[in-house]
Amino acid sequence: MHFDNDGDVTEDDYGENDDEFDEYDPQQNLGAQSNPQLIGEIMSTKMANQPPMFISGWEEDEQGIEQKDMSDPIEQFLSAAEEGNLHLMELLLSERPDLLMARDRDNYTALHRAAYSADPEAKTSEGWTPLHSAANWGNFEVIATLLSWGVDVNSRTEISKIVPLHLAINSMADDPHKQCMSVKYLLEMPGIEMNAMNAAGDTPMNLARRSFPAIYELLQQHMK
């Protein structure tokens, strides 16, 4: 992988994922496209039996503000995220993938609604947090949101002892630019452990040195 003249990442040298990340279970993480997977992972962190608590200001009819328009696909999708209706979310996304970035009139996204009243650092049985999933799929916008909420940038999985930076470097993103931006966002966090070693003995630098020259250069610059 290399940077072009505009500073963007090109697909040269974009390698495959290493085997030590076999802890990740695609079926558990919805195993389709990366964006529905990520929303599904966030949705799984919602508190058990927690009723929806999200209230957008324009829902309060008592003050003369209109109710939700459930004939609108955007509101259908956002409400499905709020209520944890993953089946409806997947159905709507299959028809309109652009809904993932939809916002309501208060500028809330599906991520905001899905994560409302949930623990943004909730872990799966393998120790995956939403940040691990975002890093794994190169969703740098979600990474930025989660980091703004103060999640632990150095959180480790249970068995493989992987931190989000390992996953961002070894990303399954379909666009190398997403991989690069994900790494950049993580590196900007104070206290990030650049030398975090996973169970296989690899640090982020090791992974980048083997397969991703541009990311390796980025890590070196950060360490100066």
**Whole-angstrom Cα distance, residue 209 to residue 205?**
6
- pLDDT of 197 strictly over 70: yes
**Whole-angstrom Cα distance, residue 166 to residue 89?**
29
132, 134, 138, 143 alpha-carbon torsion, rounded to 10°: -110
- Residues 155-164 have pLDDT tens digits of 999 999 999 9
Shortest CA distance to 76 belongs to which of 59, 89, 57? 89
Cβ contact 25:159 at 8 Å: no
Higher-pLDDT residue of 120, 14? 120
Q: What are the beta bridge partners of residue 9?
A: 3
- Residues 85-114 have pLDDT tens digits of 878 888 998 899 888 888 888 888 887 777
Quickly name the fold that domain 121-224 has. 1.25.40
Which sequence spans correspond to the domains of the chain?
A: 46-118, 121-224
- pLDDT of 152 strictly over 90: yes
Mean pLDDT, the chain, whole residue set: 75
Triad 107, 111, 115: Cα angle to 5°: 115
| 3-class SS of residue 93 | helix
What is the phi-psi region of residue 62: left when phi exceeds 0, alpha when psi lies from -120 to 50, beta otherwise? Answer: alpha
- Residues 24-79 have pLDDT tens digits of 333 333 233 345 455 555 554 443 334 333 334 434 444 444 577 888 999 999 98
**Whole-angstrom Cα distance, residue 203 to residue 47?**
33
